[in-house]
Amino acid sequence: MRFDTLAGWLEWQSSLHPAAIDLGLERVAEVWRRLGGRIVCPLVTVAGTNGKGSSVAMLDAIWQAAGYRVGSFSSPHLMRYNERIRLDGEPLSDAAIIEAFARIDRARGDLSLTYFEFGALAALDCFARARPDVVVLETGLGGRLDAVNIVDADVALITAIGLDHTEWLGEDRDRIAREKAGILRAGRAAVCSDPQPPAGLLEQAARLDVPLRVYRRDFDATPNPGGGWRWSMEGRRREALPLPALRGDYQLQNAAGALAVTELLGGRLPLETAAIREGLASVSLPGRFEVRPGRPTLILDVAHNTQAVAALRDTLRRYRCRGRVLAVFSALRDKRLGEMIARIDDRIHQWHPAGLEGPRGLDGKTVAAAVARHAHGRRAPPRERVSEALGDALAEARDDDCILVFGSFLSVAAACRALEDHDGQARRTMTPEHDGR
């Protein structure tokens, strides 16, 4: 075996391939063939710009509540790499992932793989061996050329489509939608939880004769006046459902899409409404408008593109912070910083710009310059680390204030590590991350 520790494997993977992101299926498909793996249970692939992680978490929670064994793969992680690969809601152990990596390393021969491709193959290999009742896979980037697309989904789910990763996927929603639509399979069912799917997605579905269900057109979610909501699709209804435990009005859209997927697989994975209620009420996902109790209130959100930041702004407005909102903000260099800042600036009283480490991270001065151009609120001096900016915000905040950390998965992860250190808890190591958002 090449390495005895997970950290050793991940460090090596981060420099194995010439490019951190190399879209294409030939290499990873060949290694999967050599592994001889096969997913024999129903399989769901999830693509989209925003809402993928929440949708995967809801599907996982609902099917688990019904007693099914669920395998799920998502990315990126917040604190530990193991979060990416889960069986029955629990992250795989270091030992299980290391064994999968060793099998992949032997099978690949002289074929080079990226960090993400190793992880996707490890998830598929583990699921093929564990044989759960259902597998849910989240694409990392795009869909058509994403590593998880080497397997065929029984049902494809495409969530909200916005502008992100445009240098790889295209400069407009239509081109991006065509890349996401690459997870569709001829004649197999698909769901789109975006109520306004671009023409590219609809055209691809029609070309492949895919029975596509679209939110607000073929299925719907209707809030009840007294609380909760009801779901409907093609004459099928689910009544008296609790709002998802994940905060934000947009989560109802994600929940509606998740329920459409479960309905399409109902013949193989029957569900009682009670299991749906339990799953929606219990689902959890760190970093999605995650509110940490205490004074001042701390809010963590991985919003990392304009569409996600707009949803964050709406949720923040409804949350009604009693005092000021102090924003700790950092982002990666391929993001539209000006749009992100301008979209939420009217909810921010003071900005605390920060840098992010790594090849795709921006330095604090660059982030601060973008804030100066696009924000009207007060600005604190820039810091090179999120932990430093968070420390400034904590020192500045009054008891009734809210501190919002957003802009990237890495921003939230850095804040979580800083809080653990501040609280005297054991520090977790964030392994090298090259597919972060």
Beta pairing partners, 46: 138, 157
Question: What confidence category does residue 421 fall into, taking pLDDT thresholds of 50, 70 and 90?
Answer: confident
Instruction: Select the CATH number that applies to the domain covering 6-282 from these four: 3.40.1020.10, 3.40.190.10, 3.40.1190.10, 3.30.2350.10.
Output: 3.40.1190.10
pLDDT at residue 79 above 80?
A: yes
* Maximum Cα–Cα distance across the chain: 61
**Alpha-carbon distance 90 to 83, whole Å?**
8
Q: Give the Å distances, CA to CA, from 238 to 21, 124, 235, 262, 436.
A: 41, 32, 10, 12, 36
List the one residue out of 228, 68, 177, 185 whose CA is nearest residue 132.
68
Kindly list the distances between the CA atom of residue 425 and the CA atoms of 2, 94, 387, 397, 405, in Å, as whole numbers in the listed order: 32, 21, 15, 23, 20
Q: How far apart are CA 298 and CA 301, in angstroms?
A: 10
Q: In the structure, what pLDDT confidence band is assigned to residue 144 with cuts at 50, 70 and 90?
A: confident
pLDDT at residue 429, as a whole number = 30
Cα 15 from Cα 24, distance rounded (Å): 18
Model confidence pLDDT, tens digit, residues 153-164? 999 999 998 765
pLDDT above 80 for 374: yes
Assess whether pLDDT exceeds 60 at residue 196. Answer: yes
- With bands split at pLDDT 50, 70 and 90, how would you rate the model's confidence at 362? very high
Helical (H) or strand (E) element with 118: helix 115-130
- Give the span between the Cα atoms of 174 and 203, in whole angstroms: 10
pLDDT digits (tens, 9 = 90+) for 244-280: 999 988 899 999 999 999 999 999 999 999 999 999 9
Q: If you compute the radius of gyration of the chain from its CA atoms, what whole number of angstroms results? A: 21
Q: What is the mean pLDDT of residues 399-404?
A: 96
Mean pLDDT of the chain: 90
pTM exceeds cut of 0.85: yes
Q: What is the predicted pLDDT for the residue at 15?
A: 79
The answer on pLDDT for 172 being more than 80 is no
CA distance 13 to 150: 20
CB atoms within 10 A of CB 266: 11
Q: Mean pLDDT, to the nearest integer, of 395-402?
A: 95
Q: How far apart are the first and last CA of the chain?
A: 31
Percent of the chain with pLDDT over 70: 93
Tokens 């295209």 sit on residue: 170
How far is 316 from 297, CA to CA, in rounded Å? 12
From residue 317, how far is each of 156, 250, 350 by CA, in Å? Answer: 33, 13, 16
The class (CATH top level) of 290-422 is alpha beta
- The answer to whether residue 167 scores a pLDDT higher than 70 is no
Mean pLDDT to the nearest integer, 339-361: 93
Confidence of residue 434 (pLDDT cuts 50, 70, 90): very low
Domains 6-282 and 290-422 share a fold: no
Residue 320 pLDDT class (50, 70, 90 cuts): confident
pLDDT at 432: 35
Q: Write down the domain spans for the chain.
A: 6-282, 290-422
pLDDT for 377 equals: 79
